[in-house]
Amino acid sequence: MTDPPTDALADALADASAHPLTEQLAAATFESASEYAAALERFLRTDERAGVYIGYRPPSLEDSSRHMAGLQALLFDTGWSRLGWPVRAGGLGGDPRFRAAMFETLWKLDIQIPEPFTTLEILVPVLLVFAPHLADELLPSLLRGDEGWAQAFSEPDAGSDLASLRTRLEPDGDGYRLTGQKVWSTYGHLAQRSVLLARSGGPGHKGLTMVLVDLDQTGVEVRPIRAEDGENHFSEIFLDDAWVPGDRIIGQLGGGWAVAMYMLQWERGAWGWLQQGRFHSRLQHALQLAPAEPSHAASLGHAYTLVAALRLHTRETVERLAREETLGPEVSIDKLLLIDAELATWNAIRDHVGPRFELDEELHWLRAEYLFSRAAPIYGGSQEIQRTLVAQRVLHMPRES
């Protein structure tokens, strides 16, 4: 998939910035995802509305969220971000490789990925499969960024041991009431709704149900948590008899675990592809920040090698998702490769940049990303959990009886 765009296509896209592309820009227009990527690159380089996003360095997560919302809307209105999503969800058709190619192109041009895109990768596929009625109604405004959603699984006493969560979902009239406390909800304080895992039945993973709950209602309080990097990456969500309409169940009542497991293949798979693009881009940026120092070459080479391995592995995962294969416990390998690549990348960047890394005010954003990278072995299932899954479910090492 490396052919350049055809001349005819190039002509058709030449005045892309003048016309919304929603009609002419369909998955069928492109021979391949890389042809789409080349056309998108041309659009972003020539459309004056895109200029403010190239090389943008966010002073804070909230600022970034406001600023990048403009890009999310632009990409939706011009059709580019709608490729790779089904028509019913507000997309223009085509498989997930188009989304992967969009991320690749944004990183290539040194454009930050709007934060909600990472959430979309995880939540939209789940809604399409487990709650088609909600997908039709809500996904178009989610894709455009008119509203934001956050995932709420973990609780203060249920982190790695997710199945022990206690937030209660009780029937009430033609709906449900939620009571409990969630934590580590990414971008929770910037979201209007949350995909939330709650206990509707007895103990263990069989008593769990996934719901979509509105966060802007009485009975819900969202408090941001300041993370190691100084930014409000996640939130606590306090639920006190919060209302959930009857049609907001995702999957079956009591079937929440299956939904969460389905979600993992997207969370661990597609996320890895998106991140390898970031690592390539950040390594390249770091090279411009300081003169070459031979003593740091090995650190740089090590990082690059691990990032290249991550790229090829997650490319395969994206291709498998595009073929609609169901991914099993092997998606934990994506996360393990991601952890190694992420830590090595930021170690190499810190090595290369030298003392400016700690002291230069201009590099606040780079330090923030570095500090956030220290969460790689913790978030989304810790390194220990992933290793245990790979050992037991992939390599079939014995389990304690």
The tokens describing 224, both together, are 């941001």
**Nearest by Cα to 306 from 276, 277, 341:** 341
Burial of 96 (0-12, 13-18, 19+ CB in 10 A): buried
Amino acid at 232: N
| Residue nearer to another protein on the CB measure, 142 or 303 | 303
Residues forming a β-bridge with 60:
none
CB of residue 26 to another protein, shortest distance in Å:
19
CB of residue 335 to another protein, shortest distance in Å:
9
| Residue nearer to another protein on the CB measure, 177 or 296 | 296
| Residue nearer to another protein on the CB measure, 192 or 347 | 347
| Residue nearer to another protein on the CB measure, 323 or 399 | 399
CB of residue 19 to another protein, shortest distance in Å:
27
| Residue nearer to another protein on the CB measure, 183 or 303 | 303
CB of residue 258 to another protein, shortest distance in Å:
25
User: Is 48 assigned a catalytic role?
Assistant: no
- Kindly tell me the sign of the dihedral angle through the C-alpha atoms of 360, 364, 368, 370: negative
- Kindly tell me the sign of the dihedral angle through the C-alpha atoms of 135, 137, 138, 144: positive
Catalytic residue among 267, 324, 330, 358: 267
CB of residue 389 to another protein, shortest distance in Å:
8
What residues make contact with another protein under the rule CB under 8 A? 1-2, 32-34, 37, 97, 100-101, 104, 280-281, 283-284, 287-288, 292-294, 296-302, 304-306, 308-313, 315-316, 318, 333, 336-337, 340, 384, 386-392, 394-401
- Residue pair 174/244 in contact (Cβ under 8 Å)? The answer is no
CB of residue 4 to another protein, shortest distance in Å:
12
DSSP 253-294: TT-HHHHHHHHHHHHHHHHHHHHHHHHHHHHHHHHHHS---G
| Residue nearer to another protein on the CB measure, 134 or 385 | 385
The tokens describing 28, both together, are 């069928």
Give the CA angle between residues 130, 134, 137 to the nearest 5°. 150
* Residue 174 CA, distance from chain mean position: 33
Angle, in degrees to the nearest 10, between helices 97-108 and 297-322: 150
Active site residues: 267
